[in-house]
Amino acid sequence: MSNHELFKNKGFISSGFLNLSPGEAYELAINGAAIVDVREEFLTGYKQFLVPRVIYLPNSQIQLKYKELPQDIPLIIADSVGLRSRESMQFLLSVGFKNIANLAGGIIEWEQNGFPLRKNLSEQLDGSCMCQLRPRMK
């Protein structure tokens, strides 16, 4: 199957773009797609997607660095829960990316569904909401 056919008959359309379940995203990541993790750097240390190819490009930097993304392979845009990835998807579509999909539910749903993660407990965060996240005290 060619890279441009990996997304064929996958996912569901919402907000005008393709959204993948964690299971679909995992299957595709194992078969040649890359996950583009758009979480901010302080959020990626604790839990990381454990698939062959992950590209870290924070949503706050995507407008400056999107040209560094490969366009010859399918890209699965992912974040914590699917909010920032939607913003990234909208931007990437506006600048001509076509072979992209959003990971519905982000890394939270990925983990809840039992897909592989790399965890670094020394990078674990504490806080009751995103605005209060800080490194966990040891």
Condensed to tens digits (0 to 9), the pLDDT of residues 89-136 reads: 999 999 999 999 999 999 999 999 999 998 876 556 555 544 444 554
Query: Could you tell me the strand order of the sheet in which 54-56 lies?
Result: 12-14, 17-20, 100-103, 75-78, 34-37, 54-56
Identify the CATH number of the domain in which residue 89 sits.
3.40.250.10
Decide if 10 is inside a domain.
no
With beta carbons less than 8 A apart as the criterion, state whether 80 and 106 touch: yes
Q: Is 114 helix (H, G, I), strand (E, B) or coil?
A: coil
**Is residue 88 in some structural domain?**
yes
Q: What's the confidence (pLDDT) of residue 75?
A: 97
For the whole model, what pTM was predicted? Answer: 0.83
Q: What share of the chain is helix, strand, coil (3-state, %, to 5)?
A: 35, 25, 40
Asked if residue 108 is part of any domain, the answer here is: yes
The whole-number average pLDDT for the span 27-45 is 92
- Give a yes or no: residue 32 inside a domain: yes
Residue 109 lies in domain: 24-121
